[in-house]
Amino acid sequence: MPRENKVISDISKWVEEQGGKIYNYPVSCAFAHEGFPDKIVILPVGTFFVEVKATGEEPRPNQLAIIKQINQAGGRAFWTDSLDNFKLNLL
């Protein structure tokens, strides 16, 4: 199974091919607390908060709760464990 770094690398390459950007949070950032999604992804179709997991792994309950909170507030957030799943979540 691909490790988290491989999944991030695959997603990063694809995002850049689409004309987008993918960002990490600086450690000192207010969002960089436990449970907040790993990445901000900016694409022509929108901006997304994305929690990336190694293939076959799932987010912790606090991560799911924050993803739900972002979505309920009108943001767009999801978790993924593969490039294919990432693409599906963009629809």
pLDDT tens digits, one per residue of 13-55: 999 999 999 998 765 565 567 788 989 999 999 999 999 999 9
- CATH number of this structure's domain 4-89: 3.40.1350.10
Does the pLDDT at position 80 exceed 70?
A: yes
Residue 32 is classified by DSSP as -
What token pair was written down for 3?
A: 């490790």
Return the number of other C-beta atoms located less than 10 Å from residue 11's C-beta.
21
More confident residue, 26 or 60: 60
pLDDT > 90 fraction of the chain, expressed in percent and rounded: 80
Q: In degrees rounded to 5, what are phi and psi of residue 72?
A: -65, -25
* pLDDT recorded at residue 28: 57
